[in-house]
A = this chain, B = another copy of it.
């Protein structure tokens, strides 16, 4: 079983399906999914440090509002600075990274556990340890939570925990 302390999430394509709505004034809406906050709550109860990072400056305020509603910190980190940003702040050996883009691949490769949603780019999937069955914005964060908690506590722990807390 793994000793994991930190879970870092890319946002677009992980908490969303990667899409956004535009009107003539620019990026207006992102589409988030329902089960993600259930996942984050379970990770918090299990004492993980959580952080969301995003390179999307135009959609930052939208992302910030959603992350704030779910109670997870968010940092704006450019794609080229992403690996340095995370490795400066976290022990990668105790860190999970969840991401889908081509520039997420280095973190997926060098973190202790790299997780890619079903909708991830081929290059992200090649670099990840686990490829989820669910897509971003459609259950990926909850499934990642299940994977992480099982890796820490064993396969049977998940269902037992949910039943005990029914």
Contact = CB atoms under 8 A, between A and B. Distances in A.
Interface of A: 12-13, 16-35, 38, 56, 58, 61-62, 64-66, 69, 83, 101-103, 105-106, 119, 121-123, 126, 137-139, 142, 146, 159, 162-163, 166
Given A121-B142, A142-B121, A166-B83, A31 B26 contact: no
A23 B139 contact: no
A105 B166 contact: yes
Given A29-B22, A29-B23, A162 B123 contact: yes
What's the number of copies of this chain in the assembled complex? 4
Contacts of A56: 34
B101 A38 contact: yes
A101 B36 CA distance: 11
B121 A139 contact: yes
B26 A162 contact: no
Contacts of A163: 105
Q: Kindly list the 5 A-B residue pairs having the minimum CB-CB distance in the complex, ordered from nearest.
A: A18-B34, A24-B61, A106-B166, A21-B29, A12-B34
